[in-house]
Amino acid sequence: MSKTHIIALDAMGGDFGPSVVIPAAAYVLETQKDISFLIFGDEKRVNPILDQHPKLKSACTFTHTDIAISGTDKPSRALRNGKGSSMRLAIEAVKEGKAHGVVSAGNTGALMVMSKLILKSLPGISRPAIASIMPTAKGKTVMLDLGANLECDAEILTQFAVLGAVYARVVQGINEPTVGLLNVGTEEMKGHDEIRAAAEVLSTVPFPGKYHGFIEGDDITKGTVDVVVTDGFTGNVALKTAEGVAKLTKHFLTDAFKSSPLAIVGYLLSMGAIKKMKDKVDPRKYNGGMFLGINGICVKSHGGSDVLGTQNAILVAADLIRNDFNAQVANEIEQLMEQESFVQAVGV
């Protein structure tokens, strides 16, 4: 297969910059025959590592810039001062058709604001969302928004439902994905006005998924639905709370195994099985926040990601590119716009 899919990489983002981005890219290049890279970053930091990966060095195009967005910059400041930065150049490569998608571990707010400004939103989508995959008892679920839009009205929540459902169908291959609205109870009268209005739209108007109804926080990991829709404030808190509980459990479990000689022997015997379980919930395997609704594939890798996590974020972008996610969303939205009931209800 020829290298038909090109990903623009911001090598300077995240806590570890090129020291994780370059090895991750080298691994993906080796294992994914259709993927190649444009790499943007500071040659002083990138070249020494690129030299250790000769195959990647010869296969990718590297562009030097000594400007990088700081992780602590406000998005507005990043936008003002970020011209020519590795993040911005990577996004512009997508805009100019030189790459099919961009991956960055840099400042989330800056990446969202810059990609919205440069790539724009998809037609019919007023607010792109950050989506991610979560492990569940039944497999996986996609959840959005995880922090791009803190306050969301019914129109925006409905658009998230469309984006999530198209993702589940196109990328995950679920024929009729179920969509749930995250709420404080499952009864109809629960929640605030915005969420009840979104429920009204989703339960009456045909859209690419199947509306399940309201779900509660514990339904996320139960795998009650394929797509969890929520506002960015709630989604961000829920995601980080989940990460916190997972870490606490790991901490308590480690303590338990260390608590007696018998437990240590028990641990040694069950180590293989426990490793399998840890693998199942390894957050690095779920790394890759997708900016759905942007007119261009854009994936945010966690700032603290290691090589494995970064590889996964690149693979998430690759999957969106291979499945031509944005064209599929645009197509769905166009069909929805032809339904008068949808246009009236959602006001797109």
The burial class, CB within 10 Å (0-12 / 13-18 / 19+), for 302 is buried
Could you say which of 191, 209, 288, 293 contacts a second copy (CB under 8 A)?
A: 191
H or E segment and range at residue 222: helix 217-222
Stretch that binds a second copy, among 29-37, 168-176, 180-188, 306-314 (CB under 8 A): 180-188
CB 294 within 8 A of CB 330: no
Helix (H, G, I), strand (E, B) or coil at 219: helix
Could you say which of 32, 85, 141, 230 contacts a second copy (CB under 8 A)?
A: 230
Sign of the four-CA dihedral 270, 273, 276, 278: negative
Could you say which of 18, 147, 208, 309 contacts a second copy (CB under 8 A)?
A: 147
We find the least distance from the C-beta atom of residue 185 to a second copy, in angstroms, to be: 8
Please say which residue, 61 or 186, places its beta carbon nearer to a second copy: 186
Residue 150 and residue 194: Cα distance in Å, rounded? 13
Could you say which of 117, 247, 341, 344 contacts a second copy (CB under 8 A)?
A: 247
CB 181 within 8 A of CB 203: no
Please say which residue, 271 or 327, places its beta carbon nearer to a second copy: 271
Start-to-end CA distance of the chain, whole Å, equals 40
Please say which residue, 28 or 161, places its beta carbon nearer to a second copy: 161
Could you say which of 2, 151, 338, 340 contacts a second copy (CB under 8 A)?
A: 151
Locus of tokens 């999530």: 164
Q: Percentage helix, strand, coil, to 5, in the chain? A: 50, 15, 30
CB 343 within 8 A of CB 63: no
Could you say which of 93, 111, 239, 336 contacts a second copy (CB under 8 A)?
A: 239
Helix (H, G, I), strand (E, B) or coil at 6: strand
We find the least distance from the C-beta atom of residue 266 to a second copy, in angstroms, to be: 3
Nearest Cα residue to 69 out of 127, 32, 115 = 115
Question: For residues 82-141, which are near a second copy according to CB under 8 A?
Answer: 135-137
DSSP 234-249: HHHHHHHHHHHHHHHH
Please say which residue, 16 or 267, places its beta carbon nearer to a second copy: 267
We find the least distance from the C-beta atom of residue 10 to a second copy, in angstroms, to be: 20
Stretch that binds a second copy, among 5-13, 90-98, 213-221, 298-306 (CB under 8 A): 213-221
Helix (H, G, I), strand (E, B) or coil at 117: helix
- Binding flags for a second copy, 260-299, as an x/- string (CB under 8 A): x-xx-xxxxxxxxxx-xx--xx------------------
We find the least distance from the C-beta atom of residue 320 to a second copy, in angstroms, to be: 24
We find the least distance from the C-beta atom of residue 167 to a second copy, in angstroms, to be: 21
The burial class, CB within 10 Å (0-12 / 13-18 / 19+), for 193 is exposed
Question: For residues 11-70, which are near a second copy according to CB under 8 A?
Answer: none
Please say which residue, 1 or 137, places its beta carbon nearer to a second copy: 137
We find the least distance from the C-beta atom of residue 216 to a second copy, in angstroms, to be: 5
Number of residues that bind a second copy (CB under 8 A): 64
Residue 344 engages a second copy in binding (rule: CB under 8 A): no
CB 216 within 8 A of CB 184: yes
State the residues that interact with a second copy by CB under 8 A: 72, 74, 135-137, 147, 150-151, 182-184, 187, 189, 191-192, 216-222, 230, 232-234, 236-249, 251-253, 255-257, 259-260, 262-263, 265-274, 276-277, 280-281
